[in-house]
Structure 1
Amino acid sequence: MFYRNIDDIRLDMNKSGSVHEPFLFGINYEMSEGFFVPNPLLQTDILFQIKEAGNKSSDESEKVEAHLGSNPISYLEYENKFNVVHKGLRRGDSFLTNLTIKTPIETNISLLDIFKRSKSPYQLCLPDRFVCFSPERFVRITNGAISSNPMKGTIDAGIENAEQLILNDFKETAEHNTIVDLIRNDLSMVADNVRVERFRYIDRIKSRDREILQVSSEITGDLNDDYHSHLGDIIFKLLPAGSISGAPKAATVDLIRSAEREDRGYYTGIFGYYDGTDFDSAVLIRFIEQEGDRMYFRSGGGITAYSKCEDEYQEVLNKIYFPFI
């Protein structure tokens, strides 16, 4: 089920796709570990829900009130990481860099409880390791087309005129334009006739204590007729996900490593499900991991040359939440 040789996952995806056998898979950000589960609806070792498909139990967890406390890094610590990225941006190493942090949290509920209560399009739980409640698609493949919906631009919905503010913000617009160009280029490596179907639309994401707005776009391309037997090849060509690395990818990944100075693990990796006909996948964001008896919430945001450190620090803090009431 778990692999150190990630290329075996690619080959298994190709093989299962060629015979239309369902599978679940996941790959960590560093591409040093992953998992592959044939016929995943028949097992409960790894729990998942992707839109309407999954093995998530309908049994509700005990409705104790959930508490979430956090102890984020100081503004000064974040500023040091931000400055590493900003210097790289000014040198021209990158046009857009996704900078993330790891925040210790305290809660009275387990990873499994969080998974059971979560309301999100893409959910994954490896018990005693991590839980993810991602709002962001990586790619969807159906009827010969591949599409991606990158999210770039976040604001608290409670702010007056929030939608107009985020859509008219110069920095957020520049960041979003960059990621749309990156995803168009990525999809062009595996598909023809790549086009932007929807540009800068608003997703509303509700949590237990707030609602946030996120700006998304939809980019689509056409695949060759034999794409089922090349699902692994297609996905692996697109890694790492552009929305959680940046542009250009290779130099930006190096810049991320310099700024963050720790492995991300499965955070900002990807996972997905193939039902024998259609394929859907997500970026592993909105992510809580467990190490021994400690839990950590991972969050991040895109940095451009126009970014203000104070705003970016607040954004990563705003993304620490439970996706339920």
Structure 2
Amino acid sequence: MTLLASILFFEAIEQHYQNKLPFVVFRNPNETKLTAFLDLGTSANSETKFIVSPFDSSDYFTIHSHKILNIDYNSIHSTSKSDEIEWIDLEIKKNNHIQLIGKALSSIQTSLLKKVVLATSLEFDGASKSPFTYLKTILSKYTNTFNYLLFYPGYGVWLGATPERLITMSGRRLQTMALAGTRHLETNEWGIKEKEEQEFVVQEIVNTLAQYTASELINHSNAETIRAGQLEHLRTTITAELSISPIDAAHALHPTPAVGGVPKEDAVDFIRNQEQLDRSLYSGFLGVVSPEQTSLYVNLRCMSVHDDKATVYIGGGITEKSDPHDEWQEVLHKANTMGRILASEQ
């Protein structure tokens, strides 16, 4: 592994990017080590690699670690001009999303559907800074999320700061999480809607894992409150002993109820038929696969950047207790995770 000073670290990656070759730069939650995998575009495989799966596809692409760079990166504190971004056509987006929520609530009342996660995207046309500048701002603002910047031909540039781990797997031992419910930082208590939503997610994941192992080999913790930026979520840790591969385990769990819904098939059908959004890499999964351990994350709180336009992707869980206008406010709060990055003066 090559250890470089910060300026040389980023210069090497920028040169690679200028050659339009695949790469990823990432930092694990609550760590300072920043790692880059540079894929030289050859047919050579690497034992350690970074895989990325879109939301609606079992086909994933691989960024090989033909060259690995590491640095202990100390973030520079950044300030934001404002927490508010001028999103393009915001009122149209709002009306469309509220209408979609209405359709979901009708379906929940008349079908087996209990929860569906509905996504939208907000666009900002002032994203004129380098992707590497945005990454540095993410690293500064968010320390307990999985932070990344990647480029891959056909998908372009993506950045994110996701709070949700899909799986960590070493040998046969799998750890995953149920993450649901959203509230502002330091709100007094969780409501019934959020608690029910979290329970849906836990049960769906446990039921999925039970198809691959004995129920006594599945355990889960009590729900705890965790922080992600200026938001808080409910999280339950789930462990199991499995005899399938990490990639198979990831595909079995994906899409989790936190990005799809309950029951999974009904929710995915509703999303495909009604959402009218190409989620692309949003709410898919990504992370490192190595012989020792696989760590994959759900691609939340993310954006794509192309020609000074940033597209920020956001979703929220709809249950029978959802209020459409409250859900739209949650969309705006979640969008600000990346909005603060775009508004930064760094």
Question: Which TM-score tier does this pair reach, normalised by the shorter chain?
Answer: 0.7 to 0.9
Match in the other structure for 1:318: 333
> Could you tell me which of 159, 162, 182 is aligned with 1:134?
162
Q: Does 1:241 align with 2:261?
A: no
SS at match of 2:223: strand
Secondary structure of 1:124's counterpart equals strand
Listed one character per residue, the Cα deviations across residues 60-92 of structure 1 (whole Å, up to 9, x for unaligned) are 689685666142344422211111211111112
Whether the 8 Å CA contact 2:127–2:309 is kept in 1: the answer is no
Cα distance change of structure 1 residues 204 and 302 upon mapping to structure 2, 3 Å threshold: same
Q: Are 2:44 and 1:21 aligned?
A: no
Between the aligned residues of both structures, percent identity stands at: 20
Correspondence 1:41-60 to 2 at 5 A: 42-43=67-68, 58=73
Specify whether residues 94 and 28 from structure 1 end up closer, same or farther in structure 2 by C-alpha distance, changes over 3 A only.
Answer: same
Does the 8 Å CA contact 1:29/1:268 hold for their aligned counterparts? yes
Q: Which of 199, 218, 233 is residue 222 of structure 2 equivalent to?
A: 199
Is contact 2:128-2:308 (8 Å) kept? Answer: no
1:103 offset after TM fit, Å?
Answer: 0.6
- Does the CA contact (< 8 Å) of 1:70 and 1:103 recur in 2? no
* Match of residue 112 from structure 1: 132
1:43-82 equivalences in 2 (<5 Å): 43=68, 58=73, 69-71=85-87, 72-74=90-92, 75-82=94-101
Structure 2: which 5+ runs fail to align? 1-20, 23-45
The number of residue pairs the alignment matches comes to: 284
For the residue of structure 2 that corresponds to 1:129, the secondary structure is strand
Shift of 1:156: 0.7
Q: Deviations over 1:227-280 (max 9, x none)?
A: 5xx333332232323320011111111111233212100000001212321211
Contact 1:95 1:248 in 2 (8 A): yes
Are the structure 2 counterparts of residues 124 and 56 from structure 1 closer, same or farther at C-alpha, using a change threshold of 3 Å? Answer: farther
Evaluate the alpha carbon distance shift between residue 272 and residue 194 of structure 1 in structure 2; reply closer, same or farther with a 3 A threshold: farther
Aligned to 2:233: 214
Is the 8 Å Cα contact of residues 124 and 132 (structure 1) preserved in structure 2? Answer: yes
Conservation of the 8 A alpha-carbon contact between 1:100 and 1:298: yes
CA distance in 1, matches of 2:99, 2:71: 41
- SS of 1:255 mapped into structure 2: helix
TM-score, normalised relative to structure 1 = 0.77
CA distance in 2, matches of 1:293, 1:26: 24
Q: Which of 137, 154, 158 in structure 1 is aligned with 2:182?
A: 154
CA distance in 2, matches of 1:257, 1:274: 29
1:30 equivalent to 2:56? Answer yes
Scaled by the length of structure 2, the TM-score of the pair is: 0.73
Q: Which of these residues, 149, 165, 170, is aligned with residue 125 of structure 1?
A: 149
Residues in 2 aligned to 1:115 and 1:56: alpha-carbon distance in whole angstroms: 15
CA distance, structure 2, for counterparts of residue 142 and residue 121 of structure 1: 21
Residue aligned with 2:135, SS: helix
Asked whether the 8 Å contact 1:132–1:284 carries over to 2, the reply is yes
Distance in 1 (alpha carbons) for counterparts of 2:287 and 2:213: 19
Determine if contact 1:130/1:290 at 8 Å carries over to the other structure: yes
CA RMSD of aligned residues (A): 2.9
Counterpart for residue 13 of structure 1: none
3-state DSSP of counterpart to 1:176:
helix
- CA distance change for structure 1 residues 117 and 92 in 2, over 3 Å: closer, same or farther? same
Evaluate the alpha carbon distance shift between residue 255 and residue 176 of structure 1 in structure 2; reply closer, same or farther with a 3 A threshold: same
SS of the counterpart of 1:305?
coil
Residues 1:190 and 2:212 aligned together: yes
SS at match of 2:212: coil
SS at match of 2:292: coil
Moved more, 187-196 or 98-107: 187-196
